[in-house]
Amino acid sequence: MKMADTQVQEETFTLEEILAGTKEYHRLILWNDEINTFDHVIHCLMKYLDYSESQAERIAWKVHNEGKCAVLEGTYTEVDVYRKILKEEGLTVSIE
């Protein structure tokens, strides 16, 4: 009987990615940029993260004045889903 050729694909991870995977809670950070309007940021926060209009406005002002704001906490997997969605909308986001 002939054995099938099997190839193993090796994945490499940075130390940052490995350590990120061991943390229980991660924060999705929304960063200030010169591209997005207040209205667009507020719309995205309401649509995807279920914030009320007044909450979304407060977050938008905090981002504008302080440069960034945590908008979501959860496991890396949960937070990464929203990072991808908000990035698709053109927002500047990262995970801490």
**What does the pLDDT look like over 35-61, one tens digit per residue?**
999 999 999 999 999 999 999 999 999
Quote the tokens at residue 32. Answer: 């200030």
DSSP label at residue 33: -
With 70 as the cut, is the pLDDT of residue 6 above it?
Answer: no
Cβ atoms 68, 32 nearer than 8 A: yes
Q: How confident is the model at residue 82 (pLDDT cuts 50, 70, 90)?
A: very high
pLDDT of residue 21: 60
With 90 as the cut, is the pLDDT of residue 13 above it?
Answer: no
